[in-house]
A and B are shown apart, each in its own frame.
Chain A
């Protein structure tokens, strides 16, 4: 039994007080003497050549200090990997989507900057544009980038096992098509940056709302023609990331360059509409998925064709389509896989990482198809999942290794929470409302190796007064990682939360992490904190052992004291130990530690590896099952989520309250994609450029009841056995809801979002105009017989074929 005192406890967030009292400093709160305000000028065209930019009238305005355009930057492109280096600080030749930054102005106040932006005259020559990825792949389609023939920006071609054989020997095959929409991250803090260029040192200091200062550091430096060491990045608090604040944007480059041009600090804060128009979003995906199975439901193989709408630039899109394919199998064991994916350029804002990164789209398809497969074969969705689930020690077709796995327990717990055995498939109708339940499973990597610098670093300094200070390289973007890391440190040194301080990141004081993405922080940075803490203990124990005459190896840290193991009366207070180091040994107490996922993972920074797809992505994988109950108003088509039960194996919850916050947040995010959100564009123009039109769900749309089950599998690599918990659960939310809607209505929705108008239309088309009177909604026996509207029509059983 574990006997932790701080780890595993529901301690309060260390930044809670600062945030709720409004004292936390965000990028837009930074005000420097002499600071100018910038404004980015954005393209009104989806595709156009930039003919001429005339800033004369703007510059003649009193108070306008500078205008920057693409020509003011070095002639370099940047990107995630070499083949995908397709972005510039600001474009010079042409614009590729409506909202793309073209130039920026700096003026003495914000209003003046906005007025000056209107005075900059940009002449464009409009070009034919393309918005549909399949159209864009056709010969003769408008080409976005010279280097990309047929507008293909990245591809994946996986082939594991023997797919032909799998389909040949299968008892049953079926093939279905799916599509998902573009959605936003929905962070409440828009993009903001303050940049201060210092002429004398030729360095720039930045305060920016980013979740990965390291990626910015590299790409920003490249786009600016500076060395990373010329940039100092001071991390303010961040108002949400969800994968959306990795890339450097027009405002970041412009602020630094405008500061360089004027010799003054420059602040640029976007409004939310600018974020909607210019930020990256989740990849819309079109998925054609064929499954081969045995009669008993054993999955033999998947053949998948995927086309991802990449928008105007590559970003990390190669990784996105890799991940969609990498999780074609997990959380289930499927021996034969064939995956062909193309990510295609279109004249829209580009697509990138968003909570679950590429995986939710694929699992929505695969797991809702699993229920359909069950219907074809007369198998219960729970049984078919149980039959194919992965277990600890499994090695998957694509090289994934499962080191710990609580999927079995999670399936059992989630099924029990929604009373699966008695409820699923039954008719539960009251008036115009019917209820249904669904299951969805998911799995996610706990950090991965993305190429370049991949290690996490922690620096611990112990003050003379006994307080311990932690500096580490992974920004807390609201998920609470600073609290978790402080818990780990307190536990390691036998202290309480009150003894730990943290400072937000500053690149002049420590080495940055790759950043807060891919659910890596607790897993990797947590390990770095433990390593550094062990070094602090070593130094302390050396000093204390001399004082009380024992072997350093006999000492432990416990409850604010350093004592002899097995004889805990013998020892000194932690503070006394610290003072022995400083005053007697005259050695300041300071240590650093680092950790890396490199030892157990393949290197996915290599484009070849991303394309062919083989290799273990992560040291550990989390597992989830979510059971949901929905209520569908058959007349209005509205869907309410009544109950959501998340049974989650995150190895070990270091802070159960924070883990539950992540689970609820994931559910809200998944529910938004399933039912509410859509970035709807017409000819590249976004019709939902604000939170009102976009329809982000509010607390009123969140599940009325939410349950959490923590499954402890004590992972061998994660700190205290912990694995990821930040985004994996968003993966199972989509299929869980989609399957519950099927249970309620007998309709399988394969195209997201499932808005009320689509529900009504589908009901009318499936059951006729008087659908409320249809036996499916009135006769429990009829419901069992029909097995729902998609029935057994789509799948083809080989036995039937032979007969």
Chain B
């Protein structure tokens, strides 16, 4: 049930928005596809909703003077999917956007909302009625974890479909705060603690995402594995982006795993293996094994048997990395 007393405000200036967000129990909202569900379940109980969609530039997609793709944080997922600018600068992003939820969700849901999607767990994202049957877990303010209760750690999963690909593209975020604007790498957004997954301070919000376009010689790919072909959150996702890959340059690779931890995980060892000159089939197999090793899924979502998710991480890695290597060879041969 959504409590009837929730206030909805629609600021037009960032300063005002940040001040409103700094108030107690204020939550930012754009499409509401995730927040409303959490409110209905009673796991989010904001007193006021600060609607970010009217803030300057929030719904804009543009190419900056230096070619950077600037995506307003309130841009809808379906706008990303359809934007000619995105298709030109980073088609893989449109591809990933197409795998988010279902069309109706993509029409409402926003880029920023997708990035700031709360971590989830099948012991936590439940209605009050359901949660009554269990003691509260860490994420619910309690003192145990129903998934793995060995250390005082929350084992919820971060399941954003867009974060892994943006992280592999080394996207940057524009963050607005009461003290003004700052810029940070997307990897800095995550705390690593699934109970409180984001580093944004009270009163801060993401206003835009900056992506350096894929140029000649750059290659990127994204794979998502879910229970069904639509609607579902990923059980495992994998994003790879390689800059200077097929034009004879040294090549720089980013491999990012999604949905198997409280934040997207980079796999630097696997990156190094394939970046190295002379990488071959064997390196792909080794890199895939490394990716699987980094995936430490736990039994926290439906249909997400841990051994299976680790296996899938390996399969996705083998497929994506094998293809990547083949393209590099094709270009050099």
Contact = CB atoms under 8 A, between A and B. Distances in A.
23 contacts: A44-B129, A44-B133, A45-B133, A98-B133, A114-B1, A273-B127, A277-B129, A277-B130, A636-B225, A636-B315, A637-B308, A676-B227, A687-B122, A692-B233, A693-B122, A694-B302, A695-B227, A695-B232, A698-B230, A700-B228, A701-B229, A756-B308, A757-B308
B109 to A, nearest CB: 14
Interface string B225-259: 10111111100000000000000000000000000
Contacts of A42: 129
B22 interface: no
A700 B311 contact: no
A674 to B, nearest CB: 14
B3 A111 contact: yes
Interface in A735-790: 755-757, 760-761
Interface in A685-731: 685-689, 692-695, 697-698, 700-701
Given A687-B122, A756-B308, A695 B303 contact: yes
Nearest to A695: B227
A149 interface: no
Interface string B291-322: 00000000001110101100110010000000
B4 interface: yes
B263 to A, nearest CB: 22
B150 interface: no
B134 interface: yes
A115 B3 CA distance: 9
A695 B133 contact: no
Interface in A479-533: none
A390 to B, nearest CB: 38
B132 interface: yes
A635 interface: yes
A274 interface: yes
Nearest 9 Cβ contacts at the A-B interface: A757-B308, A44-B132, A700-B229, A44-B133, A757-B305, A693-B302, A114-B1, A635-B315, A695-B227
B133 A685 contact: yes
A680 interface: yes
Interface string B108-138: 0000000000000010001111101110000
Given A698-B229, A700-B229, A701-B228, A689 B126 contact: yes
Interface of A: 42, 44-45, 98-99, 111, 114-115, 118, 271, 273-274, 277, 635-637, 676, 680, 685-689, 692-695, 697-698, 700-701, 755-757, 760-761
A760 B133 contact: no
A680 B302 CA distance: 9
Nearest to B316: A636
A689 B129 CA distance: 11
A160 to B, nearest CB: 42
Interface in B145-185: none
A312 to B, nearest CB: 15
A760 B311 contact: yes
B6 to A, nearest CB: 11
Central interface residue in B128, B129, B228, B307, by most chain A CB within 10 Å: B129
Nearest to B318: A635
Given A277-B130, A755-B303, 17 more contacts: A44-B129, A44-B133, A99-B129, A111-B3, A115-B1, A273-B127, A274-B129, A277-B129, A635-B315, A688-B302, A689-B126, A689-B130, A693-B122, A693-B302, A694-B302, A697-B228, A701-B228
A400 B200 CA distance: 70
B130 A685 contact: yes
Nearest to B126: A689
B129 A273 contact: yes
Contacts of B228: 676, 695, 697-698, 700-701
A755 B309 CA distance: 13
A95 B312 CA distance: 42
Contacts of B134: 685
A685 B132 CA distance: 11
B232 A692 contact: yes
A757 B130 contact: no
A760 B308 contact: yes
A725 B225 CA distance: 36
A413 B311 CA distance: 40
Contact of B230 (A273, A680, A700): A700
A515 B122 CA distance: 38
A53 to B, nearest CB: 15
B130 A273 contact: yes
A637 B233 CA distance: 18
Interface string B1-33: 101100000000000000000000000000000
A277 B230 CA distance: 25
A431 B136 CA distance: 47
Central interface residue in B126, B133, B305, by most chain A CB within 10 Å: B133
Nearest to A111: B4
Contacts of B127: 271, 273, 689
Nearest to B4: A111
Given A695-B228, A697-B228, A636 B312 contact: yes
Contacts of A636: 225, 312, 315
A44 B128 CA distance: 10
A635 B318 CA distance: 10
B3 to A, nearest CB: 7
A115 B311 CA distance: 45
Contacts of B126: 689
Nearest to A635: B315
A633 to B, nearest CB: 9
A636 B227 CA distance: 11
A365 to B, nearest CB: 24
A786 to B, nearest CB: 25
Contacts of B130: 273, 277, 685-686, 689
Nearest to B305: A757
A772 to B, nearest CB: 11
Contacts of A698: 228-231
B302 A695 contact: yes
A757 B228 CA distance: 13
Nearest to B311: A760
Contacts of A273: 127, 129-130
Contact of B1 (A98, A99, A111): A111
Contacts of A271: 127
Nearest to A699: B230
A697 B303 CA distance: 13
A370 B302 CA distance: 33
A697 B231 CA distance: 10
A10 to B, nearest CB: 30
B307 A757 contact: yes
B60 to A, nearest CB: 31
